[in-house]
Chains A and B, each alone.
Chain A
Amino acid sequence: MSSVQHVLGIECTAHTFGCGIISSEAAVLSNIKSEYTPKAGGIHPREASQHHTEFASATVKEALQRSGLTLSKIDAIAFSSGPGLGPCLRTGATVARMLSLLIDKPLIPVNHCIAHIEIGRAITKEDDPLVVYVSGGNTIVSAYSDGRYRIFGETLDVALGNCLDTFARALGLPHPGVPKLEALANEGKIFIPLPYVVKGQDMSYSGLLTTAIRQIGKTEPKDLSLSLLEVAYGMLAEVTERALAHTEKASVLLTGGVARSLRLQRILASVCREHNARFYVVPPDLAGDNGAMIAWAGYLAFRENLSVPVECSFIRPKWRLDEVEVPWRK
């Protein structure tokens, strides 16, 4: 056995089917994605899973080709077993189980949120950051403490990305909505009060979304967009600040699909300046859903012998981040 090991990761929780290959030295050898884009409306879980079934094989092949490795050089197969949409998770898990059986190598279930955190830590080389993870499905402020990633603030209902996407669609902006929403907001001048809901450590976006949608037609779209973003990001900034003050971490790591928002980056950078914390943004390739992050988190678990037999490789659509033991951090 060579000293360098390789792990292949399958990401398949929502709109992206991703396959990535990493080496034990945290080098991303390849990271290929195929993204499902709904013709209208939001993600339809069954249609998304059909897309993933269709593109799985080509995506895995391309990832292998780019990495310059053959399947026989892979030491473990990792897959995102939750949280996510059931039909998508089942498709990803099926592909991973098949690959694991084919090459007779361990199968590693990975928590999707942990993968976002771990790839961020690896590429920024920031050992112990406060993580702000925002995407279409998750809005979590988390930090490591006593064996697990603890949650110091999260959405109580819809995710930030979901809130913005839904509003953008209601305004008639085409996919992807958030950049267009931000461009519109940059022209906005007048701030309209909208529900700003911070409950202790947590935030709630559902009332904000409903109110904003009801204002469409009554308020200029640019002013409404400005107000929505100000309130939505403002709430997240406040929760981040609270978590930073409470945990006293020295840095903040922004990741997830919404991490690419320049407006949000500016806001969190300002929060960090005020608290003398270092600020990192994971680059879009590795911040959005991708296979490489699953492979890397899978490698960390693989080192701890956390593999499962195929017959026990269940998916966990509602697997909370703070349920997972992370022995590699001890």
Chain B
Amino acid sequence: MAEMNLKLIKKGAEAELYRGQWLGYDAIFKRRVRKEYRNADLDAYIRGSRTSLEAKLLAQARKLGVPTPVVLFVDLRNYEIIMNHIPGISVKKLIDTLDVPSVKSLFSTIGEMVGRLHLGGLVHGDLTTSNILVFNNSVFFIDFGLGEYTSELEARGVDIHLMRRALESSHHAVSKVAYTSFIDGYKGIMKEMGKEILIRVDEIRRRGRYVEGER
């Protein structure tokens, strides 16, 4: 693709994000870059499989009623996804500006959305506050690069566990309130199944190294 006037807006861990026009759309170009340090075979495998899976998951999530950027084009030769730009602000940046009731309502919504993903048979795989944007009073989920199609208890549990870890490491002051609201929203969607998953979340936590109640 010959793109004009692409502007680098973020150098992420595995991809570079550019912003530019694509057939008249305000678009984000997510390009998984070659890692010089990685074996070429391993590198091509990781970039290829994550690019194609991410594109599918982004589209599938929308069908489940979870806002995500619209995928406009996938270029597997260049390990690139072109999607529409969401002019929102990340929850990571937003959270510090919110009062407690707003944190509660935001995280309850986030929990609900994660519930919809899980109920629909997919997991995000990298639930952090950097990967959720707020725009127009809606939460948008981005970066499904570590996502999967799965209804396994374990994968769902890991998703919830990661959100908890992200809150504890980056947003210590509000982590308890945010996590409780997140779980409330999540359980509202998952109903009975939610209980079993939350038991697994605690198990995953205990499986961690040196934590309270470790086996």
A interface residues (Cβ-Cβ under 8 A, vs B): 83, 145-146, 150-152, 154-156, 191, 193, 196, 198-201, 226-227, 230-231, 233-234, 237-238, 241-242, 244-246, 266-267, 270-271, 274-275, 318-320, 322
Contacts and interface: CB of A to CB of B under 8 A. Distances in A.
21 contacts: A83-B210, A150-B169, A155-B209, A156-B207, A200-B127, A200-B128, A200-B166, A201-B128, A201-B166, A234-B35, A234-B38, A237-B37, A241-B14, A244-B13, A270-B35, A271-B37, A274-B11, A275-B11, A318-B209, A318-B210, A320-B210
Interface stretch (B39-47, B71-79, B98-106, B133-141): B39-47
Given A241-B13, A246-B128, A320-B209, A145 B38 contact: no
Nearest to A241: B13
Contact of B38 (A150, A193, A200, A237): A237
Contact of B214 (A244, A267, A318, A319): A318
A200 B146 contact: yes
Given A83-B210, A156-B207, A266 B37 contact: yes
B38, B168, B173 — most chain A CB neighbours (10 Å):
B38
A193 B45 contact: yes
Contacts of A271: 37
Nearest to B154: A199
Interface of B: 11-14, 35-39, 41-42, 45-46, 125-128, 130, 146, 158, 162, 165-166, 168-170, 172-173, 207-211, 214
A226 B39 CA distance: 9
A24 B11 CA distance: 41
A24 B13 CA distance: 39
A11 B39 CA distance: 38
Nearest to A139: B209
A193 B158 CA distance: 24
B87 to A, nearest CB: 21
Contacts of B170: 145, 150, 246
Contacts of B37: 233-234, 237, 266-267, 270-271
B13 A151 contact: no
B130 A246 contact: yes
B35 A146 contact: no
B210 A319 contact: yes
A187 B194 CA distance: 51
The 5 A-B pairs with the shortest beta carbon distances in the complex, nearest first, are A318-B210, A200-B162, A241-B13, A242-B13, A270-B37
A200 B125 contact: yes
B156 to A, nearest CB: 12
- Chain A CB within 10 Å, residue with most, of B125, B208, B214: B208
Nearest to A230: B39
A119 to B, nearest CB: 21
B53 to A, nearest CB: 14
A245 B11 contact: yes
B46 A196 contact: yes
Given A200-B158, A274-B11, A275-B11, A234 B169 contact: no
Nearest to B11: A275
Given A83-B210, A193-B45, 9 more contacts: A150-B172, A151-B169, A196-B42, A200-B128, A201-B165, A201-B166, A246-B130, A318-B211, A320-B209
Contacts of B36: 270, 274
Contacts of B168: 150
Contacts of A83: 210
A234 B42 contact: yes
Contacts of A156: 207-209
B42 A230 contact: yes
B162 A191 contact: no
A191 B41 contact: yes
A244 B42 CA distance: 22
Contact of B39 (A201, A234, A241, A318): A234
Nearest to B127: A200
Contacts of A267: 37
Nearest to A321: B210
A227 B12 CA distance: 25
* Interface-centre pick from A200, A231, A320 (highest chain B CB count, 10 A): A200
